Amino acid sequence: MPVIRELVAAGACVSIDTMRAAIAEPAIAAGARLVNDVSGGKAEPGLLRLVAEAAIPYVCMHWRGHSDDMQSRASYDDVVAEVIAELRIQLDEAERAGVAGNKLIVDPGFGFAKTGEHNWQLLQRLEEFEILGRPLLVGVSRKTFLGRLLAAADGSPRPAKQRDDATTALTAVLAMQEVWGVRVHSVRASRDAIAVAQRLQSD
């Protein structure tokens, strides 16, 4: 993992995005200091034990299945209540595996077994996730539901790389709500949006 070592040597805090212990283990050994697991511990429980031993932060994302069939699982009576309930189970599993409670971060899993409407409902009711008592990470950058919102006159979605302005707008809104973190492609624009939001909230 030479890239990770070089980034760490340069002062970066490196996050590894994986659901596999075999990938996370050498990355952590190379200096990665956060594991982002889109399966929330469901794909490979051994990853939870590895994170527990390393005593590093862990992003637990809401997940109902792999990408080849996850959209068939996008059925909810109340998407927010059900995502929170399922995340609570995933968090309990992580703690049973030894991950410290103060190392756990939650991610509602935008776009993972969610329709565009589900994503909007989650965004509109983010404050309800406070009941989990964990920092909240939101990953909506360039997501399909933004492309559909910004669709052309013929109904074709805005291409992914042309959704950064909408992403930045959401970053500003999320910063005003004091969400712990966002996952984005255009970093500088989002940093600027956060700076503006923080200045508006300052005394």
Active-site annotation, residues: 143, 183
Q: Which residues pair with 36 in a beta bridge?
A: 17, 59
For residue 18, CA distances in Å to 28, 82, 170, 203 come to: 12, 24, 25, 40
| Cα–Cα dist 131/172, whole Å | 23
Burial class (CB in 10 A: 0-12, 13-18, 19+), 31: middle
Residue identified by tokens 């990665």 is 32
* Planar angle of CA 31, 15, 3, nearest 5 degrees: 55
Question: In terms of DSSP bridges, do strands 104-107 and 34-37 run parallel, antiparallel, or are they unpaired?
Answer: unpaired
DSSP 3-state of 104 = strand
